């Protein structure tokens, strides 16, 4: 980042230009989650990071927010550019004060990229104040570039590190922000792009709307359903029929042309009576006959149970079409992972941490290291679910997802994701891109259900995510 900034300055781009664009981008990031004006409390240090926060506050104030700035240092100790932005902020016209019930957010602009733990006074005191207000007033914290007290290289955190609900990082994600131990301090990660910075490419990337935008072009007016994939879903068993229904709904709302759900005869009537009208429910006596079915993409595993393991293993190995493998199909696969080395077509695995442990053993690696190791050993695409979902593929790279919230920690979310990923593969996306985009839109749909809808972290359901997929897709397009 420093090299990119120096190169931009050498081309005649000023630090103030970058600060103004960063501040505007931060304000836009805030409005993604809080579209209605509220109250904003800014904690500012004395460098350019604080200037970004002040510019963001100015944009929010112009949009009707009630804003207040608390400086960690006297204004005379602040940098020249920050003093200029504070003067612009002070000269701005005040708007009507926000209603007392309006949400309170705090911008953490105390420390920037060059800082390292431990925190020192007076910043330490204000970091503690931010964390106390977050708890006492149920406020939401937006860190600017990185939470104050977090090492941007390693992810190591001070004991009083600011606990952020959102982090708006400037230009590109810093390695420490995606470290496993930093997740609960970073929260929802967002990228504020600065096109003026010419950043080198990397084999680790962040999935965000800007990086995913070209994956789903607008459909031609003459489009017809067979162009967008026949999805075959093998899911559900007695007591677990809902998983099949959620997968079907995910595939339908993910853009599949046709969705066929294959279930054993003993649950056919249950699934058929509750399934979306747009899905075709087909009873089968055995899973052994599925290899001859006419589908473009398979989605196998949600709610499947383990009583037909030999048939499922054969389908995983022999099916000549791409396949998304989830849930019980992963548990079955864990008994013989070596079949992944000679499958008839590409495979996307979507394990949660427990399923990953069964697949790879209880090895002490970071999530990123584990994903890289597994995809080097097996020629598959891996979507390792979690609060910072990792997508990996050998020779393609590794991608971190940015969207989602703790409300997604409930049953059915993975079933919906399986259907969405299968639908995207059916629309001719690579398995790697389908996994990146699928994780992003499901996470963003969950955010929209809470911050722009009526759900909460406690009430969020998989059906809420499915209902908001359309809005998430529109954002990414």
Q: What pLDDT is attached to residue 364?
A: 87
Q: What pLDDT is attached to residue 94?
A: 59
Instruction: Provide the 3-class DSSP secondary structure of residue 319.
Output: coil
Which residue range(s) make up the domain with 106? Answer: 2-200
Distance CA 472, CA 447 (A): 9
Count Cβ neighbours within 10 Å for each residue of 88-126 and write b for 16 or more, e otherwise.
ebeeeeeeeebeeebbbbbbbbbbbbebebebeeebbeb
161, 241: one domain: no
pTM of the model: 0.95
Q: Would 210 be classed as within a structural domain?
A: no
Q: Would 207 be classed as within a structural domain?
A: no
Q: What pLDDT is attached to residue 100?
A: 61
Q: Would 206 be classed as within a structural domain?
A: no
User: Do 425 and 348 touch, CB atoms closer than 8 A?
Assistant: yes
33, 146: one domain: yes
End-to-end CA distance of the chain: 28
Residues 6 or more apart whose Cβ sits within 8 Å of residue 68: 39, 40, 41, 42
**Residue found by looking up tokens 């020629």 in the block:** 379
For the chain, give percent helix, strand, coil, nearest 5.
Answer: 45, 15, 40
Distance CA 421, CA 415 (A): 10
For position 235, which CATH number holds?
3.40.1190.20
147, 280: one domain: no
191, 297: one domain: no
CA–CA distance from 239 to each of 230, 242, 306, 477 (Å)?
A: 27, 8, 13, 38
Last residue of a domain, one of 200, 235, 264: 200
Instruction: Provide the 3-class DSSP secondary structure of residue 157.
Output: strand
For position 53, which CATH number holds?
3.40.50.10260
131, 169: one domain: yes
Q: What pLDDT is attached to residue 436?
A: 98
Last residue of a domain, one of 138, 168, 200: 200
The residues pairing with 332 across neighbouring beta strands, listed in sequence order, are none
Residues 6 or more apart whose Cβ sits within 8 Å of residue 3: none
Q: What pLDDT is attached to residue 203?
A: 86
Q: What pLDDT is attached to residue 329?
A: 98
Per-residue pLDDT reduced to its tens digit, 383-437: 999 999 999 999 899 999 999 999 999 999 999 999 999 999 999 999 999 999 9
Q: Would 344 be classed as within a structural domain?
A: yes
187, 321: one domain: no
Instruction: Provide the 3-class DSSP secondary structure of residue 431.
Output: helix
Structure tokens at 117: 């733990």
**Angle at alpha carbon of residue 27, lines to 22 and 33, rounded to 5°:** 130
82, 219: one domain: no
**Directed axis angle between helix 469-476 and helix 431-451, to 10°?**
120
Task: Using alpha carbons, select from 367, 356, 337, 476 the residue that is nearest to residue 414.
Answer: 356
SS3 readout for 195-233? CCCCCCCCCEEEECHHHHHHHCCCCCCCCCHHHHCEEEE
Residues 6 or more apart whose Cβ sits within 8 Å of residue 217: none
147, 219: one domain: no
361, 460: one domain: yes
CB atoms within 10 A of CB 286: 10
54, 140: one domain: yes
Residues 6 or more apart whose Cβ sits within 8 Å of residue 138: 104
Q: Which residues of the chain have pLDDT under 70?
A: 92-100
Q: Is 80 exposed, middle or buried (0-12, 13-18, 19+ CB in 10 A)?
A: exposed
Q: Would 359 be classed as within a structural domain?
A: yes
Q: What is the DSSP string of 31-43?
A: HHH--S--EEEEE
**Residue found by looking up tokens 């505007």 in the block:** 24
Query: What's the domain count of the chain?
Result: 2
Last residue of a domain, one of 148, 166, 200: 200
Chain center to CA of 113: 23
Structure tokens at 370: 């584990």
Q: What is the DSSP letter of 100?
A: T
Q: What is the DSSP string of 285-308?
A: S-GGGGGGS--SEEEE-TT--STT
144, 247: one domain: no
163, 241: one domain: no
């Amino acid at each position: 980042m420093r090299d990119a900034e120096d190169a931009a300055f050498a081309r005649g781009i000023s630090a103030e230009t970058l600060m103004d664009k960063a501040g505007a981008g931060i304000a836009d990031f805030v409005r993604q989650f809080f579209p209605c004006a509220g109250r904003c409390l800014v904690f500012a240090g004395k460098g350019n990071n604080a200037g970004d926060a002040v510019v963001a506050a100015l944009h929010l104030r112009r949009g009707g927010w009630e804003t207040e700035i608390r400086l960690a240092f006297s204004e005379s100790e602040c940098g020249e550019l920050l003093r200029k932005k504070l003067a612009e902020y002070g000269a701005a016209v005040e708007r009507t004060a926000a209603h007392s019930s309006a949400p309170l957010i705090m911008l953490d602009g105390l420390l920037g990229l060059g800082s390292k733990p431990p925190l020192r006074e007076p910043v330490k005191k204000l970091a503690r104040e931010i964390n106390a207000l977050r708890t006492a007033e149920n406020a939401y914290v937006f860190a600017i570039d990185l939470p104050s007290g977090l090492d941007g290289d390693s992810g190591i955190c001070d004991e009083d590190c600011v606990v952020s609900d959102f982090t708006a990082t400037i230009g590109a994600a810093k390695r420490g922000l995606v470290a496993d131990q930093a997740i609960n301090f970073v929260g929802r990660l967002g990228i504020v792009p600065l096109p003026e910075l010419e950043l080198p490419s990397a084999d680790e990337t962040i999935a965000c709307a800007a990086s995913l935008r070209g994956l789903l072009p607008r459909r031609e007016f003459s489009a017809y359903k067979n162009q967008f994939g026949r999805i075959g879903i093998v899911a559900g068993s007695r007591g677990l029929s809902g998983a099949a229904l959620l997968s079907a709904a995910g595939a339908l709302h993910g853009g599949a042309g046709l969705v066929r759900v294959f279930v054993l005869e003993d649950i056919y009537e249950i699934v058929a009576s509750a399934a979306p009208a747009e899905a075709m429910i087909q009873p089968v006596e055995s899973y052994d006959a599925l290899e001859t079915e006419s589908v473009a993409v398979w989605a196998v595993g949600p709610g499947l149970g383990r009583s037909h393991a030999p048939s499922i293993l054969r389908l995983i190995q022999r099916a000549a079409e791409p396949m998304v493998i989830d849930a019980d199909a992963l548990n079955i696969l864990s008994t013989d992972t070596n079949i992944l080395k000679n499958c008839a077509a590409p495979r996307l695995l979507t394990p949660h941490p427990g399923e990953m442990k069964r697949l790879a053993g209880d090895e002490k690696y970071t999530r990123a290291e584990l994903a890289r190791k597994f995809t080097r050993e097996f020629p598959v695409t891996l979507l390792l679910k979690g609060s910072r979902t990792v997508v990996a593929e050998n020779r393609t790279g590794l991608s971190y997802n940015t969207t989602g919230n703790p409300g997604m920690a409930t049953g059915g979310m993975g079933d919906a994701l399986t259907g969405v990923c299968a639908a995207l593969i059916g629309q001719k996306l690579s398995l790697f891109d389908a996994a990146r985009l699928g994780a992003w839109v499901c996470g963003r749909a969950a955010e929209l259900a809470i911050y722009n809808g009526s759900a909460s972290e406690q009430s969020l359901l998989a059906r809420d995510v499915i209902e908001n997929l359309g809005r998430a897709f529109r954002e990414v397009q």
